[in-house]
Amino acid sequence: MPRLSADALFRLAINPAVQDRLALVEAYGGKGDIADEAAADALRIKALGKKRVLKLSPEELETARLAFVFAEQWEQGLADSYPSSPEKRKYEFSAQRFREFRVQMWGKTKLEAMTEGATSVDIVKFLDESRAVPTQYIVPKGT
């Protein structure tokens, strides 16, 4: 697949980014600070429309960065909702492309940087093992 320009990739990211924000607005019933902020994000992202990424103001660049975060999040969510299928691969590819560009252009998020090199833990195994607490350490409620 040919490599896309920053502007073409940004145009591809706009719709899923807006969808992600509108879904958040809907999740909060359109009410409250989080819904208001998500709606404002969607409007700011739409407003960038066909502007060229490398000619954006600092505020617009931050909006563009967030658009790539939101687009990646939306596409990965769609990929996660499909069992192994061509649709899953398509959405995973889009999410990966948005992420790669975002990291190349702006670097990793604080969370990504903090968790880099972290060891993953099998949570089910961890919880199963943590239940093996000797009974002498369990204090009944109300004592």
Counting the structural domains of the chain, the total is: 1
- Decide if 10 is inside a domain: yes
Q: Are 96 and 1 in contact (CB under 8 A)?
A: no
Per residue in 87-121, pLDDT tens? 899 999 999 999 999 999 999 988 888 888 888 88
Q: Cα(76)–Cα(78) distance, rounded to whole angstroms?
A: 5
- Decide if 130 is inside a domain: no
Q: What pTM value is reported for the model?
A: 0.79
- Decide if 23 is inside a domain: yes
Residue 55: give the domain boundaries: 6-117
Given this model, what pLDDT does residue 136 score?
Answer: 47
Helix ranges restricted to H, the chain: 6-27, 33-48, 58-80, 86-106, 110-115, 123-130
Residue in the structure block whose two tokens are 């903090």? 114
- Decide if 136 is inside a domain: no
- Decide if 59 is inside a domain: yes
Given this model, what pLDDT does residue 142 score?
Answer: 60
Comparing CA positions, the residue from 54, 66, 69 lying closest to residue 7 is 54
**Range with the lowest mean pLDDT among 19-23, 79-83, 116-120?**
116-120
- Decide if 89 is inside a domain: yes
CA 122 to chain centre: 22
- Decide if 139 is inside a domain: no
- Decide if 80 is inside a domain: yes
Given this model, what pLDDT does residue 135 score?
Answer: 46
Per residue in 27-47, pLDDT tens? 999 999 999 999 999 999 999
